[in-house]
Chain A
Amino acid sequence: MRLITHNMIKLFLLGEFTNESPMGIEVEKMEVRKVGFNPYFLKKMFDWVNYNALVEASKIMGYAELPDVADPSMLESEEFLRKFHHALLELHLEEGSLVCPETGRKYPVNKGIPELRPYYDEV
């Protein structure tokens, strides 16, 4: 699971919202896979991505190069875009779990696939 997906996930289970804070990450195993670099896509995603959550997540994944604060003017620099690209699209969480910030419940991640099913007895 890439961090772009982690960034997009927001639990919504049968009408009950969790708040805006992102899911926590527990890493057991991670991987880096190279993908093609496309600055246009990154610029577009920059508006949509929750940047603070991405910085947090990439630090947990062991990549601390991303600056803590970013503004749209930084998108002109190739260096920043490369870092953004690496954090967003190339860091893969292979084994571990996602932690709900409100309830503390853990959603396991196996082979890169997070299991986001609520248990039926809870619903």
Chain B
Amino acid sequence: MASRPELQAPPEIFYNDEEARKYTSSSRIIEIQAQLTERALELLALPDDGIPRLLLDIGCGSGLSGETLTENGHHWIGLDISQSMLDVALEREAEGDLILADMGQGLGIRPGVLDGAISISAVQVCFFPSTSYHFILTQYLLPMTFHLDKQWLCNADKSCHEPRKRLKAFFESLYRCLARGARAVMQVYPENLAQRELILSYAMRAGFSGGVVVDYPHSTKKRKEYLVLTCGPPSLSTATPKGKAEDEESCSDDTGSEDEKNQTVCVSDRHRPRKKQKLNKKGKGREWVLKKKEQMRRKGNAVPPDSKYTARKRKARF
């Protein structure tokens, strides 16, 4: 746990030249970032008319997510707090424009000009004062996220970093700079329910509508949460899309169990309750009784005459 980046220093200090290069040269991280960005773009639901859009990449880092945006033909403006990460982005010849800024102090963008905003593993929010800061971080053990968090919106390392104020500034400025009906998709890893609710509540207070989309909710590794926020009041068109594999009962358990099914005996009948079997059997019925009586009469036996009481059931307390 000692190598968790956030445990060592705030992002602008931890991501020095060496760390930034390490981060960007890992093919695994590049692949994951590309996947996350693709999914975020999908959730942005930009109209499919081939016109490039102007997007904001919050916490763009070394421009890995921006590369995917460029491949999809969009113009983007990237924002990050780490100078070293941005230097790597320059080396990688990121197509978008880069700005060195701190999103917790608000985005310096003119109102209503952006078609959308994405943020990949960057809005990593720590809401609590420095006493519980480290405790929360050590509780936070998702293996996939190990190298991914880049920017803590609320690093409690500096006295002016007051989490709630920063969250408020961030969401309010984001709301302002997005066009009406535009979406912001943020991939987040909230540590607990309270955190998720706090992020969402600040987003709602800023005027966003939307919610959390969870991909692969049953898998610990593949599970991803996206905050999908829409500018403007809730409506049908702004309904939160469904996460991937949300409907499946359990993804990983079912796969590969086909062989087992062929080998095991079907035992469902064995567990059927006995009483139910009896209940299913019908009584012999009036016709059957009348038929039998007729047979006995033909044989010459003494048989009582038929009446309305024939083949009726006795009462229980007889």
Contact = CB atoms under 8 A, between A and B. Distances in A.
B102 interface: yes
Provide the main secondary structure of the chain B interface. Answer: mixed
B233 interface: no
A111 B97 contact: no
Contacts, number: 86
Given A15-B106, A50-B110, A117-B105, A9 B52 contact: no
B100 interface: yes
Given A8-B109, A9-B110, A113-B90, A41 B52 contact: yes
B107 A12 contact: yes
A65 interface: no
B119 interface: no
Nearest to B166: A14
Given A12-B106, A120-B158, A112 B75 contact: no
Nearest to A20: B110
Interface string B105-116: 111111111100
B110 A8 contact: yes
A28 interface: no
A74 interface: no
Given A38-B51, A123-B160, A10 B110 contact: yes
Given A5-B77, A114-B99, A14 B158 contact: no
Interface residues of B, number: 35
A65 to B, nearest CB: 22
A73 to B, nearest CB: 20
A56 to B, nearest CB: 15
Given A5-B99, A9-B99, A41 B106 contact: no
A2 interface: yes
A113 B109 CA distance: 15
Interface in A73-108: 89
Contacts of B83: 113
Nearest to B169: A14
Interface string B72-98: 000101000101001100100001011
A84 B254 CA distance: 57
B90 A116 contact: no
B108 A10 contact: yes
B109 A48 contact: no
Nearest to B80: A113
Contact of B100 (A11, A38, A114): A114
Contacts of B169: 14-15
A14 B108 CA distance: 10
B97 A14 contact: no
Given A12-B108, A14-B105, A116-B108, A38 B52 contact: yes
Given A38-B52, A50-B110, 19 more contacts: A1-B98, A4-B54, A8-B54, A8-B77, A8-B109, A9-B99, A9-B108, A12-B107, A12-B108, A13-B106, A13-B108, A40-B50, A48-B113, A113-B83, A113-B98, A114-B99, A114-B100, A116-B100, A120-B158
Interface of B: 50-52, 54, 75, 77, 81, 83, 86-87, 90, 95, 97-102, 105-114, 158, 160, 165, 169, 173, 176-177
